[in-house]
Copies of this chain bind each other. A is one copy, B any other.
């Protein structure tokens, strides 16, 4: 099956020529391109830790293939996911000297790593690099603010918002391949997996989406979802 093959090549680790992703500001794929030149490429297995909370923030990371998440786990086991990073996205700059969140591979992933000091020292000499670094940070800030905003919405609003966000970042708008399990979505949205599941079912019953497989979501009526996010 054609789509299944695409899915496999994109998410399962046998990445064949990391696809250029659509619907993404050019700057994001292009800025800090130098990272790929100077950085080292590393592979991570599913759920492998990329860095831990409180570890010194010595590196920046760029997703080549696969997907990463940042998160904070609390004593009682509750977990908040800070963000998901897809191919082309850069992460690890969220902080001062040490990481405030840990990072893990959602699925088998290739990540390019570069010393933070190199970037910062480059930014100290090259005004363009400095500007790129700032742009990147600003983008991260906007994303975080946006995330913050949906945490005081209702469950349907959160899930609809998540789907629309993923659709914008997806290779083909209108069809989403989710790299992450329901638990990750739940922890990102501050809901239980059961509620996430029920909301998806509800959207499907309203024929706003179709669910050919748990990790595959087809957006049928974008307007219905948009109407939900208030």
Contact = CB atoms under 8 A, between A and B. Distances in A.
A94 B142 contact: yes
A195 interface: no
A124 interface: yes
A216 interface: no
A130 interface: yes
Copy count, this protein chain = 2
Interface of A: 72, 74-76, 78, 80, 82, 93-96, 100-101, 123-125, 127, 130-131, 133-134, 137-138, 140-142, 144-149, 151-152, 190, 230
A141 B94 contact: yes
A8 B141 CA distance: 35
Contacts of A76: 230
Given A145-B94, A151-B151, A230-B76, A130 B134 contact: yes
A147 B145 CA distance: 9
